[in-house]
Amino acid sequence: MSHTTPWRNFHVTVTLAYMLRASDDDLSELLSDRETGHSVSPAEAKALATELQARGFTYLPVCDNAGADGRCQGHDIEA
Ligand SMILES: [Zn+2]
């Protein structure tokens, strides 16, 4: 009996409700992209979260394998 999936990788995300109540400082920290240097302003982030909630998402979709609620469905790890 196993309820774990050791060979799948899941992206961590946050709920849209969290984004909508987070402070501007928290959002800046959350959304700054250290790889590209691109960052989204807190106002843009809240507008995006509102739009995604209206489309039925619960979580912020952060990858190309997000489910209907926006949460990562997991990725097979290449051996
Ligand atoms: Zn993912």
Whether 2 is in a domain gets the answer no
Residue 1 maps to a domain: no
Based on the number of CB atoms within 10 Å of its own CB, is 48 exposed (0-12), middle (13-18) or buried (19 or more)?
Answer: middle
* Residue 34, pLDDT score: 64
- The whole domain housing 55 covers 11-76
In a domain, 6, yes or no: no
Across the chain, what does the average pLDDT equal?
Answer: 86
Distance 40 CA to ligand 1 centre (A): 20
Look at residue 4 and tell me if it is in a domain.
no
Residue 3 clears pLDDT 60, i.e. is over it: no
Question: Is pLDDT at 77 greater than 70 in this prediction?
Answer: yes
pLDDT in tens, 31-45: 776 667 777 788 999
Q: What percent of the chain has pLDDT over 90?
A: 57
Q: How many domains does the chain have?
A: 1
Distance 74 CA to ligand 1 centre (A): 5
Evaluate whether residue 19 is within a structural domain: yes
Burial of 54 (0-12, 13-18, 19+ CB in 10 A): exposed
Inside any domain, residue 65:
yes
Asked whether residue 21 is assigned to any structural domain, the reply reads yes
Cα of 44 to ligand 1 centre, how many Å? Answer: 22
